[in-house]
Each structure stands twice: as C-alpha cells, then as structure tokens.
Structure 1
Amino acid sequence: MEITESIVIGAGQAGLSTSYHLKRLGIDHLVLDANDAPGGAWQHRWDALTMNDVHGVAELPGAEAPTRGMQRANVAVPASFSDYERDHALPVLRPVKIDRVTDDDGLLVVHAGDRHWHTRTLVNATGTWTQPFLPHYPGVETFVGEQLHTVDYPGPAHFAGKSVLVVGGGASAVQFLGALAPVTETLWVTRREPVWRDDDFTPEAGAAAVALVEKRVAQGLPPQSVVGVTGLMLRPQEREAERLGAYARRRPMFERIEPDGVRWSDRSFEEVDVILWATGFRPAIAHLAPLRLRSAAGGIQLDRNGRGTTAVADPRIQLVGYGPSASTIGANRAGRSAATGVQRSLKRAAELITTG
C-alpha cells in the first residue's frame, strides 16, 4: 500500500500556495483537483468579468500577480495558474472529484469514486465556489421568471430590457448593480442596512476585519467572509449606477415570492423578470464529514486562536481558504502555515513511532 505524506484537495490559490511550500520543505505530496483544467474557481467566472473588475488577485509565492487590464479574468488567472503549476512542477492530478475522507487505523483515506489514496496528513483547499448559498423563501418554486445565483451570472448583456431584483448585501451585489443599472431596470434587496465605508481600506483596517473572522473560527463557529466585515465601497466603474440611483433604490427583504414578482409584509408588490441571488457561498467541506471535525457550534475550530490552519479536533488536517484565509492574500499566507502544520504533524508521528 502506497502512503503519501500529504494530500492537498483543491488547486486554486490556496492549494497551489500550499503545494509550493510543501515542495520547498521536501514533503512528498499530491494535489487532487476536481476541475478539468488549471484555474480553480476563476475559470468558472462570467466572461464579462475583466481583470480591471476583480477586487484583486494576489501573487502566488515566487511569482508575480496577473496584470490588470481588459482581458477576461476567467482566461488570465487560469493561464497564470497553469504556468505556475508547470514552472514549479507541482504534482497536480485532475480531474479528481473527492467523495469523502475517512480514517483507517490512523491513516487518512481520500476516496474519489473507485479510486482512493492513503495519506498521513491532509490539506483541504476546496474553497466555496461549489457551494452557493440559496436561501428559501415562501413561493420561490412558483416564480415563472428567471432565477440565477452568482455562479450562474452570464454578464450584463443577458439582462438588457429585463427588470432585475438583486438580492444580497455583499460586494457581489454591489458589483452586479454597477454593471446592470446602466443597461436595465434594477431593484436592490438586503436583509440588513448596508454598511458603507468612504475611507481608504488600509492594511490596519484589513487586519481588523480578518481578526473578526479569526475570532469566530477560534470559537468553532461557522466562518463569516472577510468581505462581509470590511464594509462596502464603490469603485469608479460603479459610479454611473450610483448616479442612476441603483444603490438608493434598496428595500428590506420581501416576505414571499409570487409567480411574477415579490411581495413585502406591508402588502406592497414589485413585478420582476429576474431574481439574481448574490447571497454568497458556504465552505465546501461535506467530504470531511466522516472525520467529525465540526465543533458543537457548527464550524471547524482552528488552532492559534483562529489564526492558524490546523483543525483542533484532528491536527493531521489543515484547512486553507477557510475563514480568515478565504481571500487570495490570506490563501497565500495559509499555504505556508499549512505546510509547516503538515511538517509538524509528520514530525510528531515519527517521534511517536520512535518512542513507542
């Protein structure tokens, strides 16, 4: 039976960063990626998203970040990831869709259909893109118009001439309104009053936001996105939508969905052609369920008061792109932390064998 020292699940920013650092430490490992090609979630983003539109893509360790410009993000970033895998000879195997991870007498077993791999440690880098969150509201199944989530967004041209209801209070909703308001009628709905910031997003402000996410993870609570605690800002490309009143035309959440629109608790009604759910994502960690990593609070507790990547319930497991590392900058830092966590776990296991 072949046993790998470590397996990384996922070859997005966090997975590639982890693989780079594992290789630098001389740790035998394999990266299993569910996609047919390099690029992580970036390859699935909409064609209209350019590199000038994205909030930022940090450079991978030992490389430069993709340049900004009008090139499609779903082409430019995957191309850079592909070059990175090749240039650093990273051991990526694809496509491999993981079903579950189990424990077999002290070894972790990664299952993918009729294939499986044994490993001493595991780094989960599956991100969130495959787990879109769609809230349920009464009557949702009766709506005869079009319903789309962020993962399905085809670009603004698709919505021309249609009345679009954008649901969600995060950066994606702001970005969608910025693109759609100049070409069609929009209405914005959020559960809470949006929190805007008009000051510069300094490194200190970013650190404070990350600290809030770390605090939740340290308590074993489900993570809140870093973007969700930074507040919202308008970029230059969204100023035209602001001028058109797209962000002022905001209402609280509706009470129910009807065949041709939505109705509020005060009985007011809005007819819409499209409901665009910009309601975020959840961590893609269902395959880890057999390992029982979740705390009683519902999340996976991480070490170092939430600043680390090691699962408190099982130190053989590292999580990157989870909680405070769910950003391109955080993913790079987490990759280094995960690699040292793997090294630490392997050393501990070797010491136990020697002394036992």
Structure 2
Amino acid sequence: MTTTSTEVVVIGGGQAGLAAGYYLRRAGRDFVILDDQLTPGGSWQHYWPSLHLFSPAEYARLPGWPMPTWPNGFPPAPHVVDYLSAYEKKYTLPVQRPVRVAAVHRTSSGYRVDTDTGSWNATAVINATGTWSRPFWPSYPGMHEYRGTQLHASNYRTPAPFNGQCVGIVGGGNSAAQILAEVSTVADTVWFTTRPPKFLPDDVDGRVLFEVASERARALATGGGDTGGVAGLGDIVMVPPVKQARDRGVLHAQPMFTTLTADGVRGGDTTDKLDAIIWCTGFRPALRHLQPLHLRSDSAAGIALDHNHVHGEPSLVFLGYGDWTGPGSATIIGVGRTARDAVTDLVRDVLD
C-alpha cells in the first residue's frame, strides 16, 4: 500500500470533520479528511427517520454557509444529511471515503495514520470520529437469559416491529423520550430511568441550550462561578412528539430495574413482563485507533485535554465530542466555534 504525506489528517467526515476542513481550507493548509462512511452525512444518515433537530434550520449551521430552511418545524435527519453533503461539495473539501483508520502512530516528524487503503504521514491529526459507532450497553444480571428482543437506540428505526407489544424504554435522555413517544403510539411502554427525568420548559430549544452552554464556558474562562450550564436547566427537550406523549399520559418514568428475567425485568418487589427492551443508554467516543499512542487518561473525562488538544501534545486535536471538547461541540452550530478555535491554535502553535 502507498504512503502519502500531508500537513493535517482529519479523521472523520461528519459535521466536526467538515467544520475543521472549512477552517483548514481558509487557512491555506494541506489536509485530507478520512471518512469510513460510504456516503456523506456522518452519523445523521443512520438516525431513525423521525428524529428532528432541536432548533430551526437557521440555528443549525456549519461555518460559512447556513442550512436551507425547513418549512414545517424543525428539520428531520434526511434534511441534515442533504445539507452536509452539499456543504462538502460547496467547499470542495478533500474527503476520501470509505477509508477505515486502523491505527495512529507517532513518528519523528508527527504521525503515521494507517488505513485500509494505505498510510498517511502528517504533522498533525484532528480526531473527529464522534461516538455513533460505539453504542454503550450497560451490564445487568440476566441480560443473556432474557428471551425477548433487545436493541440499542442506534439500531432503532420505526415503531412498526413493536406493534401490540409491551416495550421497555431504558434511559433518561432525549433519545429515550423521543423513541418512547413514537413507540407508545403502537405499543404499551414502560420507561425506566436511574433518576427522575428532567424536562426542559416547553419554550426552550436548541438555540437556548447553545447560548446557555456558551455562557457557562465564558463564566468559567473568566473565573466566574459555574452556572451548571445546560444540566442546570434539564435533560429533555420538549419537541412536539414528546409534548404529545405527555398529553397522552405516557411520559412517566419508574425507577430502574435491577435484573432481567426470561420474560421481563425485576426491581425490588416489582416485576414487568416485556416483549422488547430498547436501550437508550448513550455512546462512547470512538477512539480505538488511538490506542498505539498510549494517551494519558483523566478519570473525569477520558483522555486529558488542554482545550481541544491532548495535554502536552498540541498537534493532536479532538473535536466534536460534547462538553469534553467545548460547549455544544457535539451540535452542528456549536462545533463550528470549537473548530475555529482548534484550527487557529493548531496553525499558530504547530504548523507555522
């Protein structure tokens, strides 16, 4: 296989990778974006069809070019995929796909990125792999004895397979609330959470959430008190389907079960017979390809970072993983700001 050289390898061609590419192109740098997907759109092309953004299109934009408006409420996932695809073409970003990155190694001049199509030598690496490929499954007694259907939210598509069944929904976040809202239209549902879910006020959407997260970051950066950010407001955005579920009286959670049985779950003195369980239990950063670097861990957030780069290693940047890499950096509008700052620092401290 061939070995090619460039200044920067961006790993991941979703919204974070594209935002990084925009600022690298604007800075006149030589770079490549390696994406393991068959087509543009990042993880948005894999979400369930009914998923919508939390904000109007004009508040969900990558740097340089706004998302086209959506006439009926908040845009659905396919609209986001179309936008990301068009964005990539508009700025002629050098995305290569499908390319799977197997490992990243340090070299005397930077890094060697090994892939299934060859290797790249680079001065710097921007890691923007997201979390979608690493769904998190918690471990509970009896998971292997349960005879019903179990699937993670990453594999959920429509409520049709659960018609007429009794379905357990596990998780206290937005995915759980939205999937419950949809499944409950065709099935009986039981919602399990480790703590009571916190609902945002009806008039709070993604615009407000991003501003709250940004205000927290500004306060912390200037030595002010911690406002709590978005967590201080609540967890679940009251998008229309969730409001409708509340109006139907199905948006009630019960404490998390402790054990799965052959035909359901048990917690304390309570048992529930369930035909299926949907685990809406989140994701973890996809970082396996970085194992050869032996990066130092921080018990609170994983790999220890200074702003967006690895502690003591400004040439290795992380982008788009949520508060770990910047306020709102896992959102379309938020990743643009963190990408701008990360690329500015990279150019100043490493590339120039």
Partner of 2:309: 310
1:335 equivalent to 2:335? Answer no
1:55 equivalent to 2:54? Answer yes
For 1:101, the aligned partner's letter is V
The alignment covers a number of residue pairs equal to 332
Task: Tell me the C-alpha RMSD between the 2 structures.
Answer: 2.8
For 2:118, the aligned partner's letter is R
Equivalents in 2 of 1:342, 1:7: separation in Å?
Answer: 12
For 2:280, the aligned partner's letter is A
Q: CA deviation at 1:114?
A: 5.8
Equivalents in 2 of 1:214, 1:189: separation in Å?
Answer: 35
Q: Which secondary structure does the structure 2 equivalent of 1:293 belong to? A: coil
My pick for the range that moved more, 191-200 or 25-34, is 191-200
- 1:1-356 correspondence runs (5 A): 2-49=4-51, 53-56=52-55, 58-68=60-70, 73-113=76-116, 115-198=118-201, 200-201=203-204, 206-209=210-213, 230-248=234-252, 250-266=253-269, 268-297=270-299, 299-303=302-306, 308-324=307-323, 325-347=329-351
Equivalents in 2 of 1:17, 1:73: separation in Å?
Answer: 20
Equivalents in 1 of 2:113, 2:331: separation in Å?
Answer: 26
My pick for the range that moved more, 58-67 or 39-48, is 58-67
Equivalents in 2 of 1:22, 1:232: separation in Å?
Answer: 35
Q: For residues 215 and 279 of structure 1, do their structure 2 counterparts lie closer, same or farther at Cα, with a shift above 3 Å needed?
A: farther
Q: For residues 63 and 207 of structure 1, do their structure 2 counterparts lie closer, same or farther at Cα, with a shift above 3 Å needed?
A: closer
Does the CA-based 8 Å contact 1:9-1:125 persist in structure 2? yes
Q: What are the superposed Cα offsets for residues 120-174 of structure 1, whole Å, 9 maximum, x if unpaired?
A: 0010111111111110100101111111111101212232211110000001111
Q: For residues 126 and 227 of structure 1, do their structure 2 counterparts lie closer, same or farther at Cα, with a shift above 3 Å needed?
A: farther
Q: CA deviation at 1:207?
A: 4.5
Gaps of 5+ in 2: 221-228, 324-328
Q: Which secondary structure does the structure 1 equivalent of 2:124 belong to? A: strand
Equivalents in 1 of 2:117, 2:240: separation in Å?
Answer: 50
Equivalents in 1 of 2:77, 2:239: separation in Å?
Answer: 21
Equivalents in 2 of 1:114, 1:2: separation in Å?
Answer: 11
Does the CA-based 8 Å contact 1:161-1:183 persist in structure 2? yes
For 2:302, the aligned partner's letter is G
Q: CA deviation at 1:314?
A: 1.3
For 1:243, the aligned partner's letter is D
Normalised TM-score (structure 1): 0.85
Does the CA-based 8 Å contact 2:128-2:320 persist in structure 1? yes
Equivalents in 2 of 1:32, 1:123: separation in Å?
Answer: 10
Query: Comparing both structures, which one devotes a greater share of its residues to strand?
Result: 2
Does the CA-based 8 Å contact 2:9-2:34 persist in structure 1? yes
Equivalents in 2 of 1:42, 1:206: separation in Å?
Answer: 19
For 2:348, the aligned partner's letter is R
Does the CA-based 8 Å contact 2:212-2:230 persist in structure 1? no
Q: Which secondary structure does the structure 1 equivalent of 2:113 belong to? A: strand
For 2:245, the aligned partner's letter is A
For 2:66, the aligned partner's letter is E
Q: CA deviation at 1:242?
A: 1.2
Equivalents in 1 of 2:16, 2:343: separation in Å?
Answer: 11
Q: For residues 17 and 236 of structure 1, do their structure 2 counterparts lie closer, same or farther at Cα, with a shift above 3 Å needed?
A: same
Q: Which secondary structure does the structure 2 equivalent of 1:64 belong to? A: coil
Does the CA-based 8 Å contact 2:128-2:319 persist in structure 1? yes
Q: For residues 84 and 205 of structure 1, do their structure 2 counterparts lie closer, same or farther at Cα, with a shift above 3 Å needed?
A: closer
My pick for the range that moved more, 148-157 or 124-133, is 148-157
Does the CA-based 8 Å contact 1:38-1:82 persist in structure 2? yes
Gaps of 5+ in 1: 217-224, 351-356
Normalised TM-score (structure 2): 0.86
Q: Which secondary structure does the structure 1 equivalent of 2:191 belong to? A: strand
Question: Identity of counterpart residues, as a percentage?
Answer: 39
Does the CA-based 8 Å contact 1:156-1:183 persist in structure 2? yes
